[in-house]
Amino acid sequence: MNVDPPNFLPVIYKTEVEAASLTGMLPTLLIIGFLIYMMRRSADMMGRGGRKGGGLFGGVMESTAKLINPTDIGVKFQDVAGCEEAKIEIMEFVNFLKNP
């Protein structure tokens, strides 16, 4: 390559970030950002004593069951022993348990 040094072409090296690599990472960054936002939001709600059942899942796992004291129940079996409606309801309940 018999080229004289004054005739050399200048070569400039650049390192560029390709836009394709950034767009490929964008969905992942959005998901991570959303998760961080939700965790901070739920931590804020729990920290300041937010509404009952707050947090990340909004109380989805919270049970609505309540304990009943047996002495508070005023109806006894002898009160409904002859009642046909009570018998039908119990039969429907048993049928449901046998054939869900």
Per-residue pLDDT of the chain (100 residues; tens, 9 = 90+): 678 888 888 888 877 767 677 778 889 999 999 999 988 887 777 665 545 555 555 556 667 788 888 888 888 777 777 778 888 888 999 999 998 7
What does the alpha-carbon distance between residue 73 and residue 76 come to, in Å, rounded to a whole number?
Answer: 8
What does the alpha-carbon distance between residue 51 and residue 60 come to, in Å, rounded to a whole number?
Answer: 13
Count of Cβ atoms closer than 10 Å to residue 8 Cβ: 8
